């Protein structure tokens, strides 16, 4: 597992600035006011910061941006990173500013002078999140991970505020690591083994194997894995840190560790990216790690269906009819519409087993959501307006894009089958909506439910504000915020 850089809060000591040998970061407000650290750097460098502020480059700086001076005279530091930030910047802005520093960090140690910043913990979380690198399979590279030292007026207070934020950041790293892993390393068995590791944090983990899934009637989920030598599994993670007996929030994730499309084989171009088709399960696992690491006073259960979709003589064929755990029959029109089959059975099991207070599923489900929303926002489908508003508010507060998408009975006609209760696809029109409409058939009428289609945001081709190119870890921050705001009971 990729670990966070070591973050520590220390008492302000201006004399350390001159002798620090990594990167030194200081702050200047948008109206041009230097803090004590910036004034000390300016003096040591004989007015370099004043000249920077008079430059054309600084005139284009926006709050949260950084400008760097390399190998500054008068300091031992390899660089001075000058951050433009309000002293009372809100948490998201402070975190994004920290991410700007984290992008520059590399292997260097970092000293940040932040005595006048109101939310240094958010800044620390941002640095840690953006400094992520996935190097597990690069034999010539080993990240030394220089420490991050943040000078503040009250280190104990800042550390207390940062501890839960850094626990959530580690949960994001768990998700990124899982989604970045190639499929020959992250098999269904290896995924289950990593989930078992959550027991060290106090999470109760249960792995349901194929014989148990067969007895439960999870034939939709099992049908997806028929063509693979990797065994299908369902991993259940229970964190009961809240009121005894209180109904938990249930998180359900699609965990297709590789998706060839099955008999409905995908084109070869870009198929290597289908290692990320377990992104929903990756987010659920990261959230469970985060809430357990910060000892959240909430009851949450995470359930992920782990399968591999491969073509073979045993694979499910287009035209096959399979019966779900619920008892409904499904005509498989396209074996590449497999994620909804996995989710359908796990959704039903979650409701039968736990009768949760609400249920949220996450999946890299449709290319159609990318056509509609691009890579900026996840699609949010829900049968409960308040539940949906609560989640979108949490996503907005955490800077993770989400957009409310429609549901409606009119879309059901696209799923009608002549030989079964329903088809597994509804055609090209409204593809992400009909996928959600399919899933809703496996949600009980009185159950608050959200479906998050994260196909466009789980992995992106370029960097984001908080992540380098690759897996973003989208959803861990938002779901942790939702849990903290609406499901915690001390």
> Which are the catalytic amino acids?
266, 340
Point out which residues pair with 234 in neighbouring strands.
Answer: 208, 305
321 token code pair: 């009819």
Q: How far apart are CA 429 and CA 436, in angstroms?
A: 13
CA angle 101-172-232, nearest 5°?
150
The two structure tokens encoding residue 413? 């006609």
Closest listed residue to residue 443, CA positions, set 394, 382, 379, 399: 382
Q: Please enumerate in sequence order all residues whose Cβ is within 8 A of that of 76, keeping only pairs 6 or more positions apart, or say none.
A: 18, 19, 20, 21
* R_g (Cα) of the chain, nearest Å: 24
């Amino acid at each position: 597992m990729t670990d966070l850089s070591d973050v520590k809060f220390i008492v302000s000591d201006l004399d350390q600035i001159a002798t620090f040998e990594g990167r030194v970061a200081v702050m200047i407000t948008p109206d041009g006011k230097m803090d004590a650290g910036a004034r000390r750097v300016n003096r040591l460098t004989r007015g370099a910061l004043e000249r920077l502020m008079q430059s054309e480059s600084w005139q284009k700086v926006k709050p949260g941006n950084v400008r760097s001076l390399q190998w500054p005279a008068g300091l031992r530091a390899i660089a001075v990173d000058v951050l433009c930030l309000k002293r009372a910047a809100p948490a998201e802005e402070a975190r994004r500013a920290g991410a700007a520093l984290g992008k520059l960090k590399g292997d260097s140690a970092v000293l940040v002078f932040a005595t006048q910043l109101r939310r240094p913990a958010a800044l620390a979380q941002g640095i840690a999140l953006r400094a992520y690198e996935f190097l597990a399979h690069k034999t010539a590279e080993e990240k030394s991970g220089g420490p991050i030292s943040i000078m503040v007026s009250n280190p104990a207070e800042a550390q207390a505020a940062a501890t839960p934020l850094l626990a959530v950041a580690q949960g994001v790293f768990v998700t990124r690591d899982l989604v970045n892993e190639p499929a020959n390393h992250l098999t269904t068995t290896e995924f289950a083994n990593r989930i078992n590791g959550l027991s060290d944090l106090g999470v109760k983990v249960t792995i349901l194997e194929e014989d148990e899934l067969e007895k439960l009637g999870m034939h939709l989920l099992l049908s997806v894995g028929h063509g693979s030598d990797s065994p299908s599994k369902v991993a259940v993670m229970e964190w009961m840190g809240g009121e005894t007996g209180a109904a938990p929030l249930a998180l359900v994730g699609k965990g297709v560790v590789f998706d060839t499309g099955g008999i409905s084989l995908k084109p070869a171009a870009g198929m290597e990216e289908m290692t990320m088709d377990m992104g929903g399960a990756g987010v659920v696992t990261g959230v469970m790690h985060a809430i357990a690491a910060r000892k959240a006073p909430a009851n949450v259960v995470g359930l992920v269906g782990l399968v591999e979709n491969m073509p073979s003589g045993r694979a499910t064929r287009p035209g096959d009819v399979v019966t779900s755990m619920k008892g409904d029959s499904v005509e498989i029109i396209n074996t590449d519409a497999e994620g909804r089959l996995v989710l359908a059975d796990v959704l039903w099991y979650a409701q039968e087993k736990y009768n949760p207070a609400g249920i949220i599923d996450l999946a890299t489900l449709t290319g159609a959501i990318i056509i509609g929303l691009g890579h900026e926002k996840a699609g949010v489908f829900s049968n409960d307006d308040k539940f949906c508003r609560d989640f979108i508010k949490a996503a907005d507060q955490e800077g993770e894009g989400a957009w409310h998408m429609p549901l409606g009975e009119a879309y059901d006609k696209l799923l009608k089958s002549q030989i079964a209760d329903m088809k597994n696809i509804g055609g090209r029109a409204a593809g992400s909506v009909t996928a959600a409409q399919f899933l809703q058939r496996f949600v009980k009428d009185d159950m608050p439910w959200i479906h998050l289609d994260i196909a466009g945001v789980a992995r992106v081709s370029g960097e984001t504000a908080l992540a380098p190119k690759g897996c973003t870890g989208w959803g861990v921050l938002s779901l942790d915020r939702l849990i903290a705001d609406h499901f915690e009971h001390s």
